[in-house]
Amino acid sequence: MENKNKKAKLLILISGGGSNMDAVICACAAGQLNAEVAAVVSSNHTAGGLEKAKKHNIPTYVCAKSDFETEAKRDKKIAEIAACLAVDYIVLAGYQGIVTPVLIDKYKDKIINIHPSLLPKFGGKNFFGLNVHRAVLHSGDKISGATVHFVDQNIDTGKIILQATVDVLPADTPDDLQKRVLSIEHSLLISALKTLVE
């Protein structure tokens, strides 16, 4: 950014509980991150993250797939929100929507995603939620983790910004592994954002 003291403006996209979103909002409020969350967009009317964002007085929007004819039209709306707020980065934090070129082309190298595996392993269309952790356990891998990467036109293939690992333990269920990975995601996402905004 040109002015080092200027806070980067973030738009966070969520679909669920929003614990990563909450961690980013708190890091901004605590001054750990030279950024501010301008708004949160959920792809889901009942996402738990919406209430969390409202508690922090962050403006929220819902852009559910069912409210638009196409994903491109949804992204046009999200791009309008982003432009209106003059955001610098778009952060996908547990966002389950497909991001189309309508958004990617406008925010090239400005959209990042957090994924709960060590990409390029266990990434792509069917790797979301517990599916990721089931596949890791099935593979016999002894290490898993999370990845923050830029978003490109394919799913989970963009340039990697940062990764962190966790052990996979012999008795792990997919749920156990999901919880262990989520426990490192928050600081990983904040560290990755730091590299972008500072």
Q: Does 174 bind ligand GRF (CB under 6 A)?
A: no
Query: Pairing relation of β-strands 8-14 and 35-42?
Result: parallel
> What is d(CA 39, CA 60) in angstroms, rounded to the nearest whole number?
6
Q: Does 161 bind ligand GRF (CB under 6 A)?
A: no
Binding marks (x or -) toward ligand GRF, 100..139, rule CB under 6 A? --------------xxx-----------------------
Q: Does 16 bind ligand GRF (CB under 6 A)?
A: yes
Q: By rule CB under 6 A, what count of residues binds ligand GRF?
A: 16
Secondary structure of 35-85 in HEC code, one letter for each residue: EEEEEEEECCCCCHHHHHHHHCCCCEEECCHHHCCCHHHHHHHHHHHHHHC
Q: Does 184 bind ligand GRF (CB under 6 A)?
A: no
Only one of the segments 11-19, 28-36, 60-68, 77-85 lies at the binding site for ligand GRF (rule: CB under 6 A); that segment is 11-19
Sole binder of ligand GRF in the list 40, 91, 94, 149 (CB under 6 A): 94
The alpha carbon torsion through 196, 158, 106, 23 (nearest 10 deg) reads -50
Handedness of CA 141, 146, 149, 155 (dihedral sign): positive
Rg (CA), the chain: 16
Among this protein's residues, is 115 annotated catalytic? Answer: yes
> Which residues are near ligand GRF by CB under 6 A?
14, 16-21, 49, 93-94, 114-116, 146, 182, 185
Give catalytic residues, as residue numbers.
115
